[in-house]
Structure 1
């Protein structure tokens, strides 16, 4: 019988079924010198991932938890720091003097427009009576024409008065300067035409008043177009909408 056929020899390479390899402890038993319940050297504890791998449900090393922005990144829905058009908390801006002066001039012009409308309505009726007393009776067509002209001019000045009042209020509150700009432009056109029409007359006082009104109407438009006024309305617009665009 050869040596390899002797099952009693200790150097036989064959292992019995269910037995660990030679030199290894039985399954579930620690190696020699290891305490019970401790993993082998270099092996992680039971239920723990290998070294360098994150646990289940944990983000990789250096990554923020799920749902949290990375370092230096803004929260979801927010613009990056310093980007234009970002949402911001904007306080009530101060009202510049240019806006106040323009609005006050607009109110003065509205008062003049209201006064002119009243003079036309009341004075028109007096003019008709005076004309009938000293110039002879007017025909029905002439009377209707004069009355329609007076009413039309009175309505024009009434609309102008409302425009200037409403434009001045909107300008003072920071809502809009458009109406007051339109009213100021109309005033410039009217006073300029009035001044040109008064050149052939010898009325120095009337021409002076028209020049003052013309200068004031130009001042309304110029003051509302200044940079301080533009920033004032841009700040109010951003405060209403929550988005800065200036």
Structure 2
């Protein structure tokens, strides 16, 4: 029995449909606000603070392996109400919370391991979604663009120790935006506003790479159709990702959209 800790986005639903087709046994711990998976008989709606309940459900159903999939928004810790088990781990969780999202996830993995529950990498279950291509539609990337991309990668590496976001946007070699708690898509929209306000003639580039200390088992960079649409609206001409460490959703739709808009997606 596999436990799926499911958040927002279409990725959990994709995985669930695949498991159903393969007659695989699983249960869902639904962390979405709208209980997106309530139609499934093996689904349990939980809040992010119900760690004890989650462990209890997994143990009761003999789930020794789990995966984290989908997006869960980081809450304000002062507003959270923890169950008894989570309250027991609160000092550890609070300490990790102050360090950033990456530290929180690593601490949660440790807690599951202590309860003999192993956290798996979702890429093992959806290898067809892993982005391995060098260039999605063979658009030539200029030397100036390559320089900007390399600069963006170095920025992400440098900021990794602060557990800051995994994306940065550069315009003609200058940093236009760095991802914060709002997430990639909101950063893209912010950069589009800045691009218009500054009347930038050149288009920007989005670099989306894992942080140096990022645990890909629970925090996997994902590229979807909405992200590409937002980039095009925000005067961004391309995206650079880390090869084999990024999930790409709706690949055919993304390919058609990028080809139509002369938009590149490359992996390094």
Larger RCO, structure (CA 8 Å, separation 6 or more): 1
Q: What range is the shorter-chain TM-score in?
A: under 0.3
Please identify the structure whose Cα radius of gyration is greater: 1
TM-score (norm 1): 0.19
* Structure with the higher helix share, 1 or 2: 1
* Structure with the higher strand share, 1 or 2: 2
